[in-house]
Amino acid sequence: MTVPGPQLLVASGITKRFGGVLALDSVSLDVAAGESVGIVGPNGAGKTTLFNCLLGLEVPDAGSVTFGGRRIDRMPVWRRSRLGIGRTFQRMELFEGMTVADHLLVAEQATSGTVRIWRDFLHRGGPTPGELHHVEEVLDLLGLADLAARPVDTLDLGHARLVELGRAMMGAPRLLMLDEPSSGLDTEDTGRLVGILNETRRSTGVAVILVEHDLSLVGAAVDRLYVLNFGKVLAAGPVDEVMGDPEVRRAYLGSTG
């Protein structure tokens, strides 16, 4: 779909143990700028652990992660975010009680890292017109403009997922990492999500890593696919090719029907 650009994220030899369990066994993965990559695999295959290692929530026992040519595997989560990695959560992690627009504004300000907190004490801590403009843009893109002032607690799941996506998109990230964005959504909501995702990629050229169970979403939104099983990369390549691989069918598709 997109012409692959230079390497954006390169993870090599990621290994992670939990006690006696080898959750990740020397997993390597790379994402080019603007590319969309899917990670699939049966439950317990190590998808989430890999995700967490890339994001900094887990420290891998071995291996390295570089982003835009910089080693990031010892960086705290918030610093990786400021480098341009946005993420969503499989289990919603919204800021309870805050409005939709506030979610985006917080993300916009925090990601840029230019906010100086002491300005608050001079009563100059308000958002800049530029920041507000970005918030409005993303609200429009997601079709959330009508809900901007709603506290997120009052949203239905489909819209809540969109708020998470929007929050991850603030600050013009170079990579979006989406953890099962369709879980709990019906087909209509999932379709809308795919539409927004593809639209975003076309307009901003952001790269995407998608961990997903819903194969129709994977097929519609992903250029390349990694299949994990028992902490190892079972297969990697273009979607059609990987789906046709008999070993993959046995390990993954066979087990889920």
Partner 1 sequence: MIQFLNYAVPGVPFGCVFALMAVGLVLTYKASGVFNLAFGAQAFVSALAYVSLIQDGWPRWAAGVIAVLVIGPVVGVLLDRLLFRRIRTASPLVKLVPSLGLLVALPQAALMIAGAAPTIPPPAIVGNAQAVYVHLGSIPLSGLELSISASTVIVVLGLVVLFRFTPVGLEMRAVVESPRMTELAGVNSGRVSAFAWILSSVMAALAGVLLAPLYSQLDPQNFTVLLVWGVAGAVIGRFASLPLAFVGGLGLGVAQEVIAGYLPAGVIANGLRPSLPFVVLLVFLPFVRQRQIEDPLAGCDPPPTALEGTATGYRAASTLTATAGRVSAVGVWHGRLARTGPDRAPGLLARRPTATLAWAVAIIAGVSAVTWIPPDWLLTMTQGIAFAVIFLSLTLLTGMTGQISLCQASFAGLGGFMAGQLANNFGLPVGLGMVAGGLLAALLGVVVAVPTLHLAGLPLALATLAFALLADNVLFPNSWIGNGAGGVTVPRPSAGPVSFAAPKPFFLLSVVVLAISAGVVKLVADGTMGRYLAAIRGSELASSAVGIDVYRLRILVFALSAALAGVGGALYGTLEGSLSPDDFNYQISAVLLVVVAIVGLGSIAGAVVSGVVYATLQQAVTTLPGRFAGLVAVLFGLATLSYTRHPEGFLDYLGARTQQVVARRRSRTPAGGRGGSPPVDAAVAGLAGAATSGGSAPVGDGT
Q: Which two tokens stand for residue 235?
A: 């297969």
Q: Any contact of residue 94 with partner 1 (CB under 8 A)? A: yes
Residue 136 structure tokens? 């409005």
Closest CA to 50 of 22, 69, 79: 22
Window 182-201: contact mask with partner 1 (x via CB under 8 A): -xx-----------------
Contact criterion met (CB below 8 Å) for 183 and 157: no
Based on the shown chain and the rule CB under 8 A, indicate whether residue 117 belongs to the binding site for partner 1. yes
Helix axes 187-204, 129-142, angle to 10 degrees: 140
Give me 240's structure tokens: 């059609």
Which amino acid makes up residue 21? V
Using rule CB under 8 A, residue 59 touches partner 1: no
**Backbone phi, then psi, for 107, in 5-degree steps?**
-65, -40
| Backbone angles phi and psi of 84, in degrees to 5 | 120, 35
Applying CB under 8 A, does 172 fall inside the site for partner 1? Answer: no
Q: Does 160 bind partner 1 (CB under 8 A)?
A: yes
Residue 69 is a binding residue for partner 1 (CB under 8 A):
no
Residues 199-228 that bind partner 1 (CB under 8 A): none
Placement of tokens 């308000």 in the chain: 126
* Residue 181 contacts partner 1 per CB under 8 A: no
Kindly tell me which of 3 and 149 has the beta carbon lying closer to partner 1.
149
Subset of residues 119 to 138 that bind partner 1, contact rule: CB under 8 A = 119-129, 131-132, 135-136
Binding site for partner 1 (CB under 8 A): 55, 57, 76-79, 81-82, 86-87, 89, 91-99, 101-103, 105-107, 109-113, 115, 117, 119-129, 131-132, 135-136, 139, 145-151, 153-157, 160, 167-168, 170-171, 183-184
